[in-house]
């Protein structure tokens, strides 16, 4: 399937060493992707007891995140990010979905050459 994402990200330095950022995006998917991940075929329905479900193309998820990057020195940095994804449309309505809210977090250490 085909998946596409559009979004906007802004960042603002608070000091020489600290930068904060925010991001919002929307994820779109074609019918092949949506059916593969969120659809339930008649065979799958018979085996699982879940209702048959046809997932169509369209908006799949909206994502929001905030981040902070701290430069430890000229080369080393630490970045933390927290986000939330919200399934929408046919993805959210699928009988296989237990939680529509998908939190995420990341902590990384980077080196700039």
Domain residue spans in the chain? 3-111
Nearest of 57, 50, 67, 51 to residue 106 by alpha carbon: 67
The pLDDT of residue 66: 98
> What's the angle, vertex CA 84, arms to CA 78 and CA 86, rounded to 5?
155
The pLDDT of residue 12: 98
* pLDDT, one tens digit for every residue, the chain (113 residues): 999 999 999 999 999 999 999 999 999 999 999 999 999 999 999 999 999 999 999 999 999 999 999 999 999 999 999 999 999 999 999 999 999 999 999 999 999 99
Non-local (6+) Cβ contacts of 73 within 8 A are: none
Closest CA to 2 of 34, 25, 24, 26: 34
The pLDDT assigned to 5 comes to: 98
| Exposure class string for 31-44: b at 16+ Cβ within 10 A, else e | bebbbebbbbeeee
């Amino acid at each position: 399937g085909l998946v596409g994402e559009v979004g906007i990200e802004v960042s603002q330095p608070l000091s020489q060493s600290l930068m904060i950022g925010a991001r919002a995006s929307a994820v779109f998917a074609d019918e092949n992707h949506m059916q593969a991940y969120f659809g339930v075929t008649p065979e799958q329905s018979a085996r699982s007891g879940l209702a048959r479900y046809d997932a169509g193309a369209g908006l799949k998820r909206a994502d929001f995140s905030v981040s902070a990057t701290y430069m430890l020195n000229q080369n080393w940095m630490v970045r933390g990010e927290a986000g939330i994804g919200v399934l929408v449309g046919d993805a959210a309505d699928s009988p296989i979905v237990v939680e529509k809210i998908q939190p995420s977090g990341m902590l990384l250490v980077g080196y700039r050459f």
